[in-house]
Structure 1
Amino acid sequence: MSQTVYRIGVIGAGVMGERMMNAIRTHEAFRIAAISDVSAERAQEAARLSGDVPWYTDYRELLAAEELDAVYLAVPPKFHHAIALDVLAHKKHFLCEKPLANSLAEAEEMLQAAKAAGVVHAMNFPTYYQAIFPELQRRLKELGTIRRIDILTHFHQWPRPWQQTPWLSGREQGGFIREVLPHFTHLTYALFGDLEVIRSEVDYPADPQACETGVSAFLRLADGTPVTINGLAGIAHEEYLDYRIYGTEGTISLQNWTNLYTGGDNERTSRVEIPLVDRLANLLDEFARAMEGKEARLVTFETGVKVQKVLEALLSNE
């Protein structure tokens, strides 16, 4: 890793960005140079934790006043588009939380702006930077012909207890389709390529402002392999997530993000021990490599647009 230390500005100091800011604070290639949040209290506290750096309540003042190499964006999705265009107009390298935007049109405009700016653009999809991803890739060849992929996302409560942020419960930009399914959509793209929604049914409560309570969808890979989505919230069941790949010779199941189970023909699946790695440090390593002009393993805005296309199709029966 280069000894260069890049100055990064943070826009959004709420719950979604806390883990990333902690990772940036301890990473040898980056230094938080300034922070902006609409809440002065949050901005000031995050700035204190980052070494008493300058803080702002208007991100435009941050962009105008600070010498930055890159910007990390962690605000609710409906604000990504406008802020991103301003960041990219300043030609700053850009790390964005998912989903990329709040609509496909916004995502596509962000991608074009990033290309025009000629900067590094990347997104935070944690599973891609865990040791579990290369293990999944390696074991695919053991499955024979892939018959189907099932994605199950069940939540006792939404938003989850540790995610009590009002926008996550709203229909405009919240819900588990926008918050959780991008992870599994990206995982599918990364493992298998393009993905198309064939049909989708979304359940909503009576409150017209509230987000979805369920989704049942059927998708296909480019080679015709079926993919199903079964999502529910507000059920008498503990939170449970399962990304399961069925093959003619074996099955793989990724459960609750970090637990991998595999099994052969007519076998019960058993857990595979996977070493824990610092996924955020890995992402920042790759981001720094790209900023140095080196080849890097990043989820770029191109893939973010593909994920956005799936999200929009899943929600199209609104």
Structure 2
Amino acid sequence: MISIGIIGAGIVGERIIKQIQQENGVEILAVYDEQQERLKVLHDTYGVPIVETLEEVFHSRIDWLYIGTPPSSHAAIAKQAASAGIHVLSEKPLAHNAADGEAMVKAAMDSRVQTAMHFPLMYSPAVREMAKRIRNGSIGRVVRVELQTFFPDWPRAWQQNPWIASRSQGGFIREVFPHYLQLIHRLFGELKIESHHTTYPEDPEKCETGVIAQAVAVQHEIPVLLTGLSGIGQMELLEFKVYGEKGVLTLENWSTLYAAKKHEERQLITDMTPVPSLFEEMKKHSALLVPFEEGLIIQRYIDYLLLEKE
């Protein structure tokens, strides 16, 4: 049995609550958010214990703390948790910037607590199947990796809040790219971003509207193309594609996996082995968890992509 405290009761925090309530051997001991009305809604809906102050969370005998607040608050909360000897699960991105991320890594190391990033793709059957097919050579030598993300609107309709559209904390580079950059890191190792162009609206308070970047996975010398665009006339589409000499794998909209071969239509992959959930891996202190050190690598990529000019 592991016990968890939750700080941040927004949409993603609510998803975490629902996920935990489907798990065995995991209990929520405290949920905190600055918006007390929002807390009452969660209590009435899910029956979770809520508290009125941050300090009450740290004194609630929890094993793990989940941080689901805006990025600028991650470092302070994580350092406080680490000093209290509490393991920390952080929402992505790791922090507001790499400097804050470095402080989070140091605090965890100094206090010898375990850390993890909330990257659901790591616990996805489709992603595990994709990784297996890449590693067993079924698509041959990988010659290119592409991430394409298209959003008709940003923020998305279900994601309206004061900071998600802000240049200081929001945008799809912070919210969506970390998932796929982390996946690229796990599959192909270190990335070197060789060039990028990020566009912003005239309003200095608003987040990016587009990015295109060329990179290379250093270990295998694989070219990587990263693109993102919002405010366009189409349905939302997220495509992560791995091109091999014998076949192509496409992870579409998070969890749908296709495989293609030469001169053939792509085929939907449905026969996939179930995999342990994030919380099952947390109970085992598994090496499959993504630690803060890895989150910091991704944070540095994010910081670089958010630069308007190189």
TM-score by length of 2: 0.94
Instruction: Name 2:113's counterpart in structure 1.
Output: 119
Q: Does 1:180 align with 2:171?
A: no
> Quick check: 1:155 aligned with 2:151?
yes
Of 121, 128, 132, the match for 2:122? 128
* Unpaired segments ≥5 residues, structure 1: none
| Residue aligned with 1:142, SS | coil
Match of 1:34 among 23, 30, 35: 30
SS at match of 2:61: coil
Displacement, 1:151? 0.6
SS at match of 2:12: coil
Q: Could you tell which deviates more after superposition, 263-272 or 78-87?
A: 263-272
Partner SS for 1:211: coil
Alignment of 1:150-229 (within 5 A): 150-222=146-218, 223-229=220-226
In the alignment, what sits opposite 2:269? Answer: 272
Q: In the alignment, residue 303 of structure 1 is paired with which amino acid?
A: E
- In the TM superposition, 1:1-318 aligns within 5 A as 5-51=1-47, 53-56=49-52, 58-63=53-58, 65-140=59-134, 141-222=137-218, 223-275=220-272, 282-290=277-285, 295-317=286-308
Q: CA RMSD in A?
A: 1.7
SS at 2:213's partner residue?
strand
Structure 2 residue matching 1:98: 3-state secondary structure: coil
Counterpart CA distance in 1 for 2:145 and 2:48 is 48
Shift of the alpha carbon at 1:62? 2.7
Classify the secondary structure of the residue corresponding to 1:243: strand
SS at match of 2:158: helix
Once the 2 structures are TM-superposed, how far is the Cα of residue 43 of structure 1 from its aligned partner? Answer: 2.1
- Matching residue's letter, 1:306: I
Query: How far has the Cα of 1:105 moved from its partner?
Result: 1.1
Shift of 1:275: 4.7
Distance between the aligned counterparts of 2:5 and 2:294, measured in 1? Answer: 24
Sort the Cα spacing of 1:274 and 1:176 in 2 relative to 1 into closer, same or farther, 3 A. Answer: farther
Give yes or no for contact 1:287–1:296 (8 Å, CA) kept in 2.
Answer: no
8 Å CA contact 1:47, 1:55 repeated in 2: no
Cα offsets for 1:21-57 (capped at 9, x unmatched): 112233222211111100011223334445452412x
Distance 1:68 1:282 in 2: 20
Identity %: 36
Which amino acid in structure 2 is aligned with residue 283 of structure 1?
Answer: L
Contact 2:90 2:117 in 1 (8 A): yes
Distance 1:299 1:178 in 2: 17
Secondary structure of the 1:169 match is coil
Counterparts in 2 of 1:39 and 1:272: CA distance versus 1, 3 Å: same
CA distance in 1, matches of 2:189, 2:291: 15
State the TM-score, normalizing by the size of structure 1. 0.91
Question: CA separation in 1, counterparts of 2:149 and 2:46?
Answer: 35
Equivalent-residue separation in structure 1 for 2:124 and 2:57 (angstroms): 32
Which stretch of structure 1 is more off in the superposition, 93-102 or 264-273? 264-273
| Cα distance in 1, alignment partners of residues 50 and 162 from structure 2 | 27
Give the match's secondary structure for 2:277.
Answer: helix
In the alignment of these two chains, the number of paired residues is 306
- Asked if the contact 1:131–1:276 (Cα under 8 Å) also holds between the matched residues in 2, the reply is yes
Indicate how the Cα distance of structure 1 residues 8 and 49 shifts in structure 2: closer, same or farther if over 3 A, else same.
farther
8 Å contact 2:215–2:225 — kept in the other structure?
A: yes
Please state whether the residue corresponding to 2:164 is helix, strand or coil: helix
Question: Equivalent residue of 2:85, what SS?
Answer: coil
Q: Is the 8 Å Cα contact of residues 8 and 30 (structure 1) preserved in structure 2?
A: yes
